[in-house]
Amino acid sequence: MLEEAVASLKEGGPDAEETWSPAINIGTAVLIPDFYVQDLDVRMSLYRRLSDIAEPDEIEGFGAELIDRFGPLPKEVEHLLDIVAIKALCRRAGVAKIDAGPKGAVVAFRNDSFANPAGLVQFIAASPWDVKLRPDQKLVFMQEWKDEKARLKGCKRVLGLLIDIAENP
Q: What topology does CATH give the domain 22-167? A: Aspartate Aminotransferase, domain 1 (3.90.1150)
Quick one: pLDDT at residue 1?
39
**What pLDDT digit, counting tens, does each position of 11-67 carry?**
555 555 567 899 999 998 899 999 999 999 999 999 999 999 989 999 999 999 999
Extents of the domains making up the chain: 22-167
91 vs 23: CA distance, rounded Å: 10
14 vs 18: CA distance, rounded Å: 7
Radius of gyration of the chain (CA): 18
**What pLDDT digit, counting tens, does each position of 84-125 carry?**
999 999 999 999 999 999 999 999 999 999 999 999 999 999
Task: Name the band, by pLDDT with cuts 50, 70 and 90, for residue 127.
Answer: confident
